[in-house]
């Protein structure tokens, strides 16, 4: 089975060998640490900053606009080429970039509940996917990304889903009951530095506690293809104003 067919069938794809430029990633990691300290190389603050950076999951949005090293890591690596290989798209753009910083020892406060990206960003109706890029090695104890294979084809629901839900042990049985006619299976995504995974905008995913001695540092990059469609009847959270801004939403792949 080709990686494109696997992605289409399962809703995710994993490149579990170093495939991205590690030097760029290490520089981006330096940028992340400065952004967490509210030191913005470009002078531009993230759109949102949730979490204290020490005892709980900390999420910052649009960090690629705050530090040039982070910007270079997502625009000068192979992310766009890999996304095009999975989707067959002739053009790939970034629509957003988030930091998910999960401190060691944060326990359930580091959890991300099972959710679909589409439910949190309904402005994008079609032609989107998400890249998941670790800036440290991610093993089974790090609170890795967990995907439910095939869930991108299931009936979407807001019931019992949401990234903000941190009591996953209570959430999962509710979802399993809701989807009792489906095959609920959880696949961990473990990756070395330089590895990358992608998931469909409608794939259910979340993550459990970071029980490793190392803080888990991950950048997620929202991508859209040349087949993107927008829903102008819902909240766009400011994206309608920047979607054609090449600096904010850079083109990272275009077929010649």
Q: Tell me which fold the domain 12-254 belongs to.
A: Jelly Rolls (2.60.120)
Q: How far apart are CA 196 and CA 18, in angstroms?
A: 8
Q: What is the mean pLDDT of the chain?
A: 95
Q: What does the chain look like in DSSP terms, one character per residue?
A: --HHHHHHHHSEEEE-S--S-HHHHHHHHHHHHHHHTT--TTSPPPS-EES-SSSS-EEEE-GGGT-HHHHHHHHSSSHHHHHHHHH--SEEEEEEEEEEEE-TT-GGGG-EEEE-HHHH-TTEEEEEEEEEEESS-B-TTS--EEE-TTGGGSPP--TT--TT---HHHHHHHHHHHTTTS----EEE-B-TT-EEEEETT--EEE----SSS-EEEEEEEEEEEEEEE-TTS--TTHHHHTT-TTTS-EEEE--
| pLDDT tens per residue, range 36-55 | 999 999 999 999 999 998 89
Q: How high is the pLDDT of residue 254?
A: 96
Instruction: Tell whether the model's pLDDT for residue 182 goes beyond 80.
Output: yes
Band (pLDDT 50/70/90 cuts) for residue 156 is confident
Band (pLDDT 50/70/90 cuts) for residue 140 is very high
CB atoms within 10 A of CB 126: 13
Q: How far apart are CA 154 and CA 74, in angstroms?
A: 30
Instruction: Tell whether the model's pLDDT for residue 219 goes beyond 80.
Output: yes
Band (pLDDT 50/70/90 cuts) for residue 66 is very high
Residue 159: burial class (beta carbons within 10 Å; 0-12, 13-18, 19+): exposed
Q: How far apart are CA 223 and CA 179, in angstroms?
A: 28
Q: How high is the pLDDT of residue 197?
A: 98
Which token pair is 249? 């939403």
Q: What does 39-61 look like in DSSP terms, one character per residue?
A: --TTSPPPS-EES-SSSS-EEEE
- Rg (C-alpha) for the chain, rounded Å, is 17
User: Any idea where the domains of the chain sit in the sequence?
Assistant: 12-254
């Amino acid at each position: 089975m080709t990686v494109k067919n696997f992605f289409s069938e399962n809703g995710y794809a994993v490149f579990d060998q170093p495939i991205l430029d590690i030097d760029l990633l290490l520089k981006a990691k330096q940028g992340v640490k400065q952004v967490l300290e509210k030191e913005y190389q470009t002078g531009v603050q993230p759109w949102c900053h949730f979490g204290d950076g020490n005892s709980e999951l900390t999420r910052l949005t649009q960090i690629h606009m705050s530090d040039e090293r982070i910007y270079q890591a997502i625009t000068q690596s192979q992310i766009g080429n890999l996304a095009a290989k999975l989707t067959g798209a002739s053009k790939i753009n970034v629509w957003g970039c988030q930091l998910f910083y999960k401190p060691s020892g944060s326990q359930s406060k580091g959890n991300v509940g099972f959710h679909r990206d589409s439910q949190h960003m309904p402005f994008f109706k079609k032609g989107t996917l998400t890249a998941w890029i670790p800036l440290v090695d991610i093993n089974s104890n790090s609170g890795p990304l967990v995907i439910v294979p095939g869930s991108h084809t299931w009936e979407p629901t807001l019931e019992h889903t949401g990234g903000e839900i941190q009591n996953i042990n209570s959430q999962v049985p509710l979802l399993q009951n809701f989807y009792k006619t489906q095959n609920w299976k959880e696949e961990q995504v473990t990756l070395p530095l330089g590895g990358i995974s992608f998931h469909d905008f409608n794939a259910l995913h979340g993550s459990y506690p970071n029980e490793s001695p190392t803080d888990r540092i991950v950048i997620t990059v929202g991508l859209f293809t040349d087949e993107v469609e927008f829903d102008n009847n819902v909240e766009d959270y400011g994206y309608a104003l920047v979607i054609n801004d090449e600096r904010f939403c850079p083109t990272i792949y275009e077929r010649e």
